[in-house]
Structure 1
Amino acid sequence: MANQVVSLSGETTQPSRADVVIIGGGIMGVSIAYHLASAGVRGVVVIERAALGSGSSAKPLGGVRATFSDPANVALGKRSLDAYKRFGEEFGADIGLRQVGYLFLCRSEAEVLDCEASVAVQNSFGSNSRMISGAEAARINPFLDPEVLLAASFSPQDGYAEPSRAVAAYAAAAQAAGVRFLTGTEVLAVETAAGSIRSVTTNRGTIRTDSVICAAGAWSRHVGQMVGVELPVTPVRRQIGMTRQQPQPYPEVPFTLDLSTTMYFHNYGNGMLLGISNQQAPGFGRDFSFEWLGEFNAAARICAPSLAEPDLEFGWAGLYENTPDHNALIGASDEVSGFFYATGFSGHGFLQGPAVGELVRDLYLGRQGFMDVSTFSVTRFHNDDETLVREVHII
């Protein structure tokens, strides 16, 4: 389960014309490409300046869940989780899906009340999440100290999978359906005229097109600026560490997160994957360091003491693509015809990728999707409507 990027067979020359150009070759870009091609859209080109899945999708493991407090995010998460469960059947691909569950730890009355409300929302969408006692949480996850827990929410259907494998499966299926992938290719400009998309210029030349889909993750603000659309996406480094592999497996535990500190952990082979959403200055730096370990250790000593001072074998640093409310941007621009966007997932891109691929396909085709995406429109940041203030996620 080492970090991986995705390569495809065959060299692809850059065409002079495309029906739609997707900027970004991570999970979002390849999912959108696959769903467009599967719907019969031809002339789809994906541009990726490095290798497919080399951005945030290069994370060795990514959570998959429908456990949110906001109905729209629950819908995206559940739709995607269902799609990931079918990956083996539909693509013949093992994406390493492990439905070990998600466990959110509550150590204050406010957290208990919030989780109870969230579980009610999740159950209304068919989730099997439930509230459990601290003692039951410790039975499910023996690393925990039940004495510090008031309660927890547990969703057995959730878990984690390997993003690089999902990217590879989508990309291979999309390529087989006629999608062109241009890796090692940088977008230099997106030209518009009379309020419409006209072309995309890369380091390899110009592609005439009427439609551009921005799936550029942490780099999306720059893409938006090329067409005069403000996409409020800020890059923030996030880091995780993997402990040394042991001769014997650790007990299998859920993806566990302490709501008070944002410390989280779960299995990684015969070791553990550890992290914490500590404060980071915005920026594109992706160098791994151990600076977060102090905060992790302090949090672990409270609710999972045996995980403090871990013996880390290696680590990973990647970028969250945060929006001001930590919710995604999904929509079609009102300012520039033919400009679509799917970005700003704030750490939830992998778990929402399949569903968002469907939604952007339907936006492009001008047809009704499985849910209303208006609450994800960038226009929510253009006014002061309090109804558009949404939950702030912690991972």
Structure 2
Amino acid sequence: MKKTDLVIIGGGVFGCAIAYYYSKNNPGKQVILVERNELNNAATSRAAALMTMVRSKRSYIPLTIETFRVAKEMEEELGESLDFKVVGMMHVAATDAKVKDLEELMGIAKEYAQEAYYISKEEAKKKAPWLKLDEALKIGFVPNEAYCDPYMLGTFFARCARKHGAKIRQGVEVLGLIHEGKNVKGIRTTEGEIYAQTVVDAAGVWAPILAKEMGVGLPMAPVRSQYWITERADIFPTNSPMVLLPDAQAYARPEGGSLLFGIREKKSLVASPQDVPKDIADFVFSADEGMDDLFENGERLARFFPAFYDMGIKYYVAGFSGYTPDSQLVLGGVPGTEGFLVASGCCGAGISVAGGVGLGIAEMASGRSNPMDFSEFEISRFGNINPFSEEWLNKCASARSNKVSG
């Protein structure tokens, strides 16, 4: 039997970020993170990793700003670069409704003191030669947005956490929670029991399985995220900006001389957390590597990317994200329990918000007040739900299908 101050279940970017902040801000206290596979090998390493600060969902903005801040801090600490690609984000509005959304977004940028301005079609075409902008009514540009290598970001959090004394144990599976009534006391693992003052469930799409032990339905579901990477071509400069095309429900970013892009399918694939294999590599996300979805929805993208039909596809990447019906995170204390916190429901934005999530949950685990505003992420906001029911799973899937942001 082991004893510790904090135990974290799950070694994705959230778990590693929490371990970093907790170990750094609580010298003398002990944190253990357990991961049944390798660190950052599930949703984290499969993310498109758009680090979007300026977005319509205000609740995410301070979290992402913290990620940018802590990235610099970790680079200094390790004397290495995370190599964030600060290429900017281009927002293309091609209908009156989307122009209105864009104008609101530019107002939000101002509110958070983020640089943002409109650019002409000619400027936009220079920046992203693959784009066809005949339909564009207004184009906004946010120059300080970036994308990153998500696996590297997760690894930096883990390495810095270790430097501050965190113990990270891979290949250790959590079998269940140890609790007295509603008071969570620790976890049972394949290598024995670990008792802790606080347990954090950062188990990604599997998080609802652990919460169920405490009689709580975590309001999220595993929904497929997928994207494609084209062959290399001159029309995709490596320093080209990321592009959001809400009228096509698509996003794109450069990927080493290729284009990485995602399109929302009409019906997103969803699974019960209980049916997702322990190793995500064992799950078949699409037997045809998303080609059906691509052809079904590609016409919308081709309006802005005419080379779409001629361009060879080199890679297909898919993974599960924890989605919620309101596309808000699932963070904080588990209702009706003591000593039990959750960090989940990334809704496809987990990489960008990881800093704020890590800081907030670590401070809550320390017994201090949370410097981040998690009020929109409360676990109880949907009331009592069954996260394994078909009705609930479909609700979460449609939140992704209807998404227009990156």
Superposition TM-score, scaled by structure 1 size: 0.88
Kept in 1: contact 2:130–2:235 (CA 8 A) = no
Give the aligned partner of residue 282 of structure 1: 270
Give the aligned partner of residue 25 of structure 1: 11
The equivalences for 1:71-110 within 5 A come to 71-110=58-97
1:310 aligned to 2:311?
Answer: yes
Give the aligned partner of residue 160 of structure 1: 147
Give the match's secondary structure for 1:17: strand
How many residues align? The count is 375
Give the aligned partner of residue 358 of structure 1: 359
Kept in 1: contact 2:132–2:304 (CA 8 A) = yes
CA separation in 1, counterparts of 2:47 and 2:246?
23
Kept in 2: contact 1:69–1:122 (CA 8 A) = no
Give the aligned partner of residue 343 of structure 1: 344
Where do 5+ consecutive residues of structure 1 fail to align?
1-14, 384-389
Give the aligned partner of residue 327 of structure 2: 326
Q: Deviations over 1:173-222 (max 9, x none)?
A: 11122211121222111122132112211122211223111111111111
The equivalences for 1:288-307 within 5 A come to 288=286, 289=289, 290-295=291-296, 297-307=298-308
1:40 pairs, out of 19, 26, 50, with 26
Kept in 1: contact 2:6–2:32 (CA 8 A) = yes
Q: Name the aligned partner's letter for residue 183 of structure 1.
A: Q
Task: Using the aligned pairs only, state the percent identity.
Answer: 25
CA separation in 2, counterparts of 1:258 and 1:71?
20
1:255 pairs, out of 242, 262, 272, with 242
Q: Name the aligned partner's letter for residue 375 of structure 1.
A: E
Q: How has the CA–CA distance of structure 1 residues 248 and 103 changed in structure 2, closer, same or farther, with 3 Å as cutoff? A: closer
Give the match's secondary structure for 2:318: strand
Q: How has the CA–CA distance of structure 1 residues 286 and 223 changed in structure 2, closer, same or farther, with 3 Å as cutoff? A: farther
1:182 aligned to 2:169?
Answer: yes
Give the match's secondary structure for 2:337: coil
Give the aligned partner of residue 386 of structure 1: none
Give the aligned partner of residue 207 of structure 1: 194
CA separation in 2, counterparts of 1:394 and 1:160?
15
Give the aligned partner of residue 6 of structure 1: none
Kept in 2: contact 1:102–1:256 (CA 8 A) = yes
Give the match's secondary structure for 1:207: strand
Q: CA deviation at 1:247?
A: 8.7
CA separation in 1, counterparts of 2:76 and 2:118?
32
CA separation in 1, counterparts of 2:46 and 2:79?
22
Give the match's secondary structure for 1:370: coil
Q: Deviations over 1:350-390 (max 9, x none)?
A: 0010111111111112323333222211122229xxxxxx9
Q: Name the aligned partner's letter for residue 280 of structure 1.
A: S
1:223 aligned to 2:210?
Answer: yes
Give the aligned partner of residue 389 of structure 2: none
CA separation in 2, counterparts of 1:334 and 1:84?
32
Give the match's secondary structure for 1:292: helix
Q: CA deviation at 1:315?
A: 1.9
Q: 27-36 or 369-378: which moved more?
A: 369-378
CA separation in 1, counterparts of 2:360 and 2:146?
23
Higher relative contact order (CA 8 A, sep 6+): 2
Kept in 2: contact 1:69–1:119 (CA 8 A) = no
CA separation in 1, counterparts of 2:202 and 2:2?
21
Alignment RMSD: 2.3
Q: Name the aligned partner's letter for residue 17 of structure 2.
A: S
Kept in 1: contact 2:11–2:39 (CA 8 A) = yes
